[in-house]
């Protein structure tokens, strides 16, 4: 059995882990790109899935490796783990992969986005923007982020309101012109 995204099995109580544990397999390989973040219980669950006989009792494992405080314990832990772990580093696999580069392009919001942004920021639910009263203001930062990406993301009522204001425009053009990001994307395309 070869399981991709194996970090999903790090919790012994999940239905996936319990179901897969019942399947009869002679050999199991777990693939994951997500590391176990310094959690020996999660590691025990994965080891127990691979070798249930060798790692039968969580209490024994936690007693031995739960608190790695000395250098000797760490060495013993690494020695125990070595037969079960194959770790690849990108530089070891492919040396020609260039370093990640990032280009940040500042994009101005459209006037429509600015109007909604101001309404959200000021928590003005009774403003001239009717659909903001339906928006969830529990997380203003989330609502502002949605507005910056595209006003249609704020709420379904927002999209309906924008469309009702501009019946004569084509729907695609309305979608594009509602957000600075989509305007930039269309220029790039």
As to burial, measured by CB atoms within 10 angstroms (0-12 exposed, 13-18 middle, 19+ buried), residue 116 is buried
User: pLDDT 10s digit of each residue in the chain, 189 long?
Assistant: 998 888 888 888 888 888 888 888 888 888 887 766 667 888 888 888 988 888 999 999 888 888 888 888 888 888 988 888 887 776 777 778 788 889 998 989 998 889 888 888 887 554 545 555 555 555 788 888 888 888 888 888 887 777 776 655 577 788 888 889 989 988 888
Query: Quick one: 85 and 123 in the same domain?
Result: no
Instruction: Confirm whether 99 is domain-assigned.
Output: no
Instruction: Confirm whether 53 is domain-assigned.
Output: yes
Report pTM.
0.48
For the chain, strand residue ranges (E) read: 2-3, 29-30
Q: In the chain, how many domains are there? A: 2
- The parent domain of residue 176 ranges over 111-188
Instruction: Confirm whether 98 is domain-assigned.
Output: no
Instruction: Confirm whether 127 is domain-assigned.
Output: yes
Q: Give the Cα separation of 173 and 175 in Å (integer).
A: 5
Instruction: Confirm whether 138 is domain-assigned.
Output: yes
DSSP collapsed to 3 states, 49-78 = HHCCCCCCCHHHHHHHHCCCCCHHHHHHHH
Query: Quick one: 30 and 75 in the same domain?
Result: yes
């Amino acid at each position: 059995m070869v399981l991709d995204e194996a970090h999903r099995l790090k919790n012994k109580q999940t239905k996936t882990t319990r179901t897969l544990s019942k399947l009869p397999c002679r050999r199991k390989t777990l693939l994951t790109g997500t590391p176990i973040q310094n959690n020996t219980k999660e590691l025990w669950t994965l080891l127990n899935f691979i070798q249930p006989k060798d790692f039968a009792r969580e209490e024994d494992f936690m007693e031995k490796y739960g608190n790695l405080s000395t250098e000797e314990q760490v060495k013993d832990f690494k020695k125990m783990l070595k037969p079960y772990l194959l770790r690849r580093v990108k530089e070891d696999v492919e040396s020609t992969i260039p370093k990640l580069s990032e280009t940040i392009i500042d994009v101005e919001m459209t006037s429509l986005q600015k109007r909604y942004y101001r309404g959200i920021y000021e928590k003005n639910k009774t403003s001239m923007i009717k659909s903001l009263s339906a928006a969830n203001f529990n997380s203003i930062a989330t609502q502002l982020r949605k507005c910056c990406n595209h006003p249609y993301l704020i709420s379904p009522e927002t999209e309906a309101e924008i469309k009702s204001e501009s019946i004569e425009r084509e729907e695609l053009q309305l979608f594009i012109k509602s957000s600075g990001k989509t305007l930039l994307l269309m220029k790039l395309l």
